[in-house]
Amino acid sequence: MSRCYILDALSLPNDTLWFDCFQIMRFGFPGLENVRSFDDYVLSYDRRNRVAYWVFEHLTKESVASNDAVDRAKCEFTEDASLHPFFRSNNSDYKGSGFDRGHLAAAGNHRLNQRHVDQTFLLSNMAPQVGRGFNRDSWNTLEKHVRKLTKKYINVYVCTGPLYLPRKEADGKTYVKYQVIGASNVAVPTHFFKVVVGETDRKELEMEAYVMPNQIIQDKTPITVFQVPPESIERAAGLLFFDRISRDKIKKINGREMKS
Question: Is residue 180 scored above 50 in pLDDT?
Answer: yes
Phi, psi of 58, deg, nearest 5 = -120, 115
Q: Annotated binding site: which residue ranges?
A: 135
The CATH H-level superfamily of 7-257 is: Extracellular Endonuclease, subunit A (3.40.570.10)
Q: Report pLDDT for 260.
A: 66
pLDDT range class, residue 22, cuts 50, 70, 90: confident
- Which alpha helices (DSSP H) does 149-197 contain, by range? none
197-206 tens-digit pLDDT: 999 999 999 9
Q: Is residue 34 scored above 90 in pLDDT? A: yes
Q: How many residues does the chain have?
A: 260
Q: Which runs of consecutive H residues, i.e. helices, occur in the chain?
A: 15-24, 61-64, 91-94, 114-119, 138-148, 230-237
Q: How far apart, in whole angstroms, are the C-alpha atoms of residue 229 and residue 211?
A: 10
**58, 103, 110, 116: the active-site residue:** 103
Per-residue pLDDT at 13 exceeds 70: no
Above 90 in pLDDT, residue 4?
A: no
- Residue 7: pLDDT band by 50, 70, 90 thresholds? very low
pLDDT at 1: 37
- Annotated binding-site residues for Mg(2+) read 135
Among 2-11, 87-96, 130-139, 217-226, the range scoring the smallest mean pLDDT is 2-11
Rounded CA Rg of the chain? 18
pLDDT range class, residue 14, cuts 50, 70, 90: low
In the chain, domain spans: 7-257
Mean pLDDT of 154-158: 99
Provide the 3-class DSSP secondary structure of residue 105: coil
- With 0-12 / 13-18 / 19 or more C-beta atoms within 10 angstroms meaning exposed / middle / buried, residue 248 is exposed
Nearest residue to 101 (alpha-carbon basis) of 83, 76, 81: 76
Q: What is the pLDDT of residue 5?
A: 38
Average pLDDT, the chain: 94
Active site residue 58: no
Interatomic CA distance for residues 164 and 121, integer angstroms: 23
Q: Decide: 72 and 107 in contact? Cβ < 8 Å.
A: yes
The reported pLDDT for the residue numbered 18 is 62
Question: Region 7-19: what's the mean pLDDT?
Answer: 52
Residue 124 has pLDDT above 80, yes or no: yes
